[in-house]
Structure 1
Amino acid sequence: MSETEPLRATDAVQAGEAARRYYLAGESKVEIAAAMGVSRFKVARLLEAARAAGIVRIEVVDRGGVDAELSRRLREAFGLRRCVVVDCPDDAPRLRTHVGSAGADVLLDVLGPDDVLGLPWARTVSALLEALPALPPVPVVQLSGSMVIPGEHSPVDMVRAAAALSGHDASVFYAPFILDDAASAAALRRQPAVAAAMAEAGRVTVAVLSIGAWVPGHSTIHDAVDDAVRADVTRAGAVGEALGVFVDADGRAVHPELVDRMVTIDAEQLRRIPERVALATGAPKASAVHAFLRGGWATALVTDRSLATALARRAGA
Structure 2
Amino acid sequence: MSQRLVPELTEKVRTRYRVLKRIELHQPVGRRTLAHVLGVSERVLRADVEVFKEQGLIEVGPLGMAITETGVDVLQALDPIMKTLDGRAEMELSLAERLGIARVVVVSGDSEQSEDVTRDVGQAAAHVLRTFLHPPCTVAVTGGSSLAMLAELMPQATTPQDVEVVPARGGLGERHELLANTIASQLAARLSGRYRMFHVPESLSRATAERLAQEPTIAEMIDRIRSANLVVHGIGDALTMATRRGLDEETVAHLALRGAVAEAFGYFFDAEGHIVHMMNTVGLKLEDLSGDKMVIGVAGGRAKGPAIEAVAHAYRMDALVTDEGAARAILKKGECTHGS
Is the shorter-chain TM-score for this pair beyond 0.5, marking a shared fold? Answer: yes
Alpha-carbon separation, structure 1, partners of 2:234 and 2:243 = 12
**Residue 84 of structure 1: aligned partner:** 105
134 and 315 in structure 1: CA distance in 2 versus 1, 3 angstrom threshold: farther
CA-CA distance at 1:296 after TM superposition: 3.8
Output the amino acid matched with 1:78: L
1:278 matched to 2:291? The reply is no
Match of 2:179 among 154, 160, 164: 154
- CA deviation after TM superposition for structure 1 residue 160, in Å: 1.9
- What is residue 315 of structure 1 aligned with on the other side? 334
Find the aligned partners of 1:194 and 1:228 in 2 and give their Cα distance: 31
Partner residue in 2 for 1:239: 261
Aligned partner of 1:259 in structure 2 is: 279
Q: Deviations over 1:77-108 (max 9, x none)?
A: 22212111111254263332221111111111
Q: 2:207 aligns with which of 174, 177, 183?
A: 183
8 Å CA contact 1:66, 1:86 repeated in 2: no
- Across the aligned residues of Structure 1 and Structure 2, the Cα RMSD in angstroms comes to 2.7
CA shift, 1:152, in A, is: 2.5
Q: How far 1:184 moved relative to its partner? A: 2.1
Query: 2:259, 2:306 → 1: CA distance?
Result: 12
What CA distance in whole angstroms lies between the structure 2 residues aligned with 1:97 and 1:294? 27
Q: Secondary structure at the match of 2:126?
A: helix
Larger strand proportion, structure 1 or 2? 2
Match of 1:108?
A: 130
Paired residues of 2:226 and 2:283 also in contact (CA < 8 A):
no
Distance in structure 2 (CA, Å) of the matches to 1:168 and 1:66: 37
Report the counterpart of residue 168 of structure 2 in structure 1.
Answer: 143
Q: 1:204–1:273: 8 Å Cα contact kept in structure 2?
A: no
- Mapped to 1, the partners of 2:116 and 2:82 lie a distance apart of 23
1:156–1:177 Cα change, 3 Å? same
Residues in 1 aligned to 2:202 and 2:149: alpha-carbon distance in whole angstroms: 20
- Find the residue that maps to 2:263 and give its secondary structure: strand
Query: What is aligned with 1:167?
Result: 192
Please list the CA deviations of residues 128-156 of structure 1 after superposition, one character each: whole Å capped at 9, or x if unmatched: 11010136532222211113224524322
1:123 corresponds to: 145
Instruction: Identify, as 1 or 2, the structure richer in helix.
Output: 2
Question: What is residue 72 of structure 1 aligned with on the other side?
Answer: 93
Q: Distance in 2 between matches of 1:221 and 1:298?
A: 26
Segment of structure 1 superposing worse, 86-95 or 241-250 = 86-95
Rounded to whole Å, the distance in 2 between the matches of 1:64 and 1:153 is 35
TM-score (norm 1): 0.71
Percent identity over the alignment is: 26
Structure 1: gaps spanning 5 or more residues: 1-58
Residue identity matched to 1:138 = V
Distance in 1 of aligned mates of 2:155 and 2:86: 19
Distance in 1 of aligned mates of 2:125 and 2:222? 24
Task: Check whether the contact 1:66–1:84 (CA below 8 A) recurs between aligned residues.
Answer: no
Counterpart for residue 4 of structure 2: none
2-structure distance, mates of 1:121, 1:60: 33
Shift of 1:172: 2.4
The one-letter code of the counterpart of 1:259 is M
CA contact (8 A) 1:104 1:131 kept: yes
Partner SS, residue 116 of structure 1 = strand
Match of 2:137, SS state, is: coil
- Which of 325, 333, 337 in structure 2 is aligned with 1:306? 325
Q: Unaligned regions of 5+ residues in structure 2, if any?
A: 1-79
C-alpha distance 64-120 of structure 1, shift in aligned 2 (>3 A):
farther
1:277–1:299 Cα contact (<8 Å) kept: yes
SS in 2 for 1:139: strand
In structure 2, the partner of 1:195 is 219
The residue identity in structure 2 corresponding to 1:293 is: A
- Deviation for aligned residue 1:281: 1.5
Letter in 2 for 1:147: L
Query: CA, structure 1 residues 64+143, in 2 after alignment: closer, same or farther (shift >3 Å)?
Result: farther
Q: Match for 2:333: what amino acid?
A: R
2:134, 2:155 → 1: CA distance? Answer: 15
The equivalent of 1:26 in structure 2 is none
Count residues with an aligned counterpart: 253
Deviation at 1:65, TM superposition (A): 8.7
Compared CA separation, residues 141 and 61, structure 1 to 2 (3 A) = closer
